[in-house]
Amino acid sequence: MKLGIIGLPQSGKTTLFNALTRGNQPIATSGGRFEVHTGVVDVPDGRVDRLSAMFKPRKTIYAKVTYADIAGLEGGSSNISGALLNQLTQMDGFVNVIRCFEDESVPHPSGSVNPGRDITAMDAELLLNDLIAVERKLERLAEERKKGGGRDKAIIEREIVLFERFKTHLESDHPLREIELSAEEEKTLAGFGFLTRKPMLILLNLAEGQAAPAIQYPHARSAVVALQGKLEMDIAQLSADDAQLFMEEYHISELGLNRVISLSYDLLGLQSFFTVGEDEVRAWTVRRGASAVEAAGVIHTDLAKGFIRAETVPYHDLVSLGGMAEARGKGKLRLEGKEYIVKDGDILHVRFNV
């Protein structure tokens, strides 16, 4: 899972990236230059901690999220192209950092701080890019229909209907992520990296002690979260002991970064299942609605190829009963086949034969 951190110049993208990854990338004072920095972070999950305490494994491994700090977007609805577009299309979703803080030493490129305006500007940038791509595709389809002799005409007509639908939606200033698609339509779009189809997390970057503005972003597969970016970066770069003391002194019960990471994970329609044992307790990432055999393939392709059955027990049952033996004795450890739909928090042990 890879999320691109985007935003207008001076919004605090790199501050957020450093906070999330505990990195120390230099904070740019001017925008416009295309750069990408990546970092991998653990998805906070108290269930992993609890399972690790129960099984005392040699290794404990959390689910992971990759964040990419992507510089180069300026706003103003310019055509995105080249290396920047290539990076953006590779992302599974975006974190759009919106500046809410005032700082005379770092002037806002638009002359004033206005979160609503900046959200609209970035949306317009992405919408325009997708609209250009859709119009170009429609031109190619029209030419293909005119020439004939190639693909089935019915397929071409279905694609024209789909892309005309996209064009109308984009021209009304709505992102493509709002459109429900059939499995066949999803397959048609497999080679396209439409930017507004990707989930969007709007992150309001606040000054220390600043109250979050009331921002509504009523689009599907989107969410809004507020964070004191500079403060969170400072805490993230402390040692664990110093960070704990700092949080206690300032009465901070939970880092906002944990909410951002968890929300990022959830926004992409992902969930965790676990494998446990003396060697390793591990959280694995799988899409919601995945089957047992799909989850087995996440662990190792051989497990999916030779899948026989999956032993599964819900996390809460395992913890409340105290262990695998107790879960088996109470009938909570079940055998499931290939079609079983994995639930968030399932503990799985795959039986296979290759």
Give the tens place of pLDDT for each residue, 95-136: 999 999 999 888 888 899 999 999 999 999 999 999 999 999
Give the pLDDT band (50/70/90) at residue 47. very high
pLDDT of residue 78: 59
pLDDT in tens, 208-231: 889 999 998 989 899 999 999 998
State the span(s) of the chain assigned CATH 1.10.150.300.
124-196
* Rounded CA separation 335/197 (Å): 37
CATH of domain 289-352: 3.10.20.30
State the span(s) of the chain assigned CATH 3.10.20.30.
289-352
- Examine the pLDDT at 28 and tell me if it is beyond 80: no
CATH fold for domain 2-45+62-111+199-267: Rossmann fold (3.40.50)
Contact 98, 204 (CB under 8 A): yes
pLDDT in tens, 65-75: 899 999 877 76
State the span(s) of the chain assigned CATH 3.40.50.300.
2-45+62-111+199-267
* Rounded CA separation 201/222 (Å): 6
Share of the chain above pLDDT 70, in %: 97
- Examine the pLDDT at 246 and tell me if it is beyond 90: no
The most confident of the ranges 129-138, 142-151, 228-237 is: 129-138
Question: In CATH terms, is domain 124-196 a member of 1.20.1050.10?
Answer: no
pLDDT of residue 190: 84
